[in-house]
A and B are shown apart, each in its own frame.
Chain A
Amino acid sequence: DQQVKQNSPSLSVQEGRISILNCDYTNSMFDYFLWYKKYPAEGPTFLISISSIKDKNEDGRFTVFLNKSAKHLSLHIVPSQPGDSAVYFCAAKVDAGGTSYGKLTFGQGTILTVHP
């Protein structure tokens, strides 16, 4: 049972344009969501997160949007840069206000390629 799904295996974008990565989840208990970026031969690096009490969180070029009713979140990167080329993972957890153990459930990942 895939509780977190990233349905687009890959995305190709021109430098300077917007990259939009999507993620869907099925478990309504999830209340904290994270995006990680992973380069080859490295571990995932935290990018940005959002709590279920918010619908948007912004950090520089990265913005995450959460639509709880649709159980959908997206990561927007504006403007996209060649250095953003990596695998992006969406992850979710049951946080319960910081009292839960924090097990992360990941999607399959989306390979983003930003062309110069």
Chain B
Amino acid sequence: DAGVTQSPTHLIKTRGQQVTLRCSPKSGHDTVSWYQQALGQGPQFIFQYYEEEERQRGNFPDRFSGHQFPNYSSELNVNALLLGDSALYLCASSLAGRATEAFFGQGTRLTVV
């Protein structure tokens, strides 16, 4: 059973560019959440997708957007990259309506130069 997979694992972008990160949830999971983890901090919730719609959003600007596809996979898009967007981006999948733990992917390390 494949767990949560994310691609790419590492990425270097220039300030002002746009980036797309991808996530495939654990088999059987229908909900995908995205988190940003800055160095030395805990993960911060960006948003959550369920049934192809953004269901909940954290305190992140509109430059951060996402999408969920019918197969439950998801993309995170960040426009007009800033140096401060450099972080580990984590995808977590879970099952809606269940008090279960979320399963995380290995993350995408984004460096903005």
A interface residue numbers (CB < 8 A to B) = 4, 6, 32, 34, 36, 41-46, 49, 51, 89, 91, 95, 97-99, 101-109
A-B contact number at CB 8 A: 66
Q: What is the interface size of chain B, counting residues whose CB is below 8 A from a CB of the partner?
A: 29
Contacts of B102 in A (CB 8 A): 46, 102, 104
Cα A77 to Cα B103 with chains together (Å):
21
Contacts of B40 in A (CB 8 A): 108-109
Q: Chain A residue with minimal CB distance to B57? A: A103
- With A91-B42, A107-B42, A109-B42 given, name 4 new contacts (CB 8 A): A43-B104, A44-B104, A89-B43, A101-B48
Q: Chain A residue with minimal CB distance to B45? A: A103
Q: Mark B77-113, 1 if CB is under 8 A from A, else 0.
A: 0000000000000101010011101111111000000
Say yes or no: A102 contacts B33, CB within 8 Å. Answer: yes
Cα A109 to Cα B92 with chains together (Å):
18
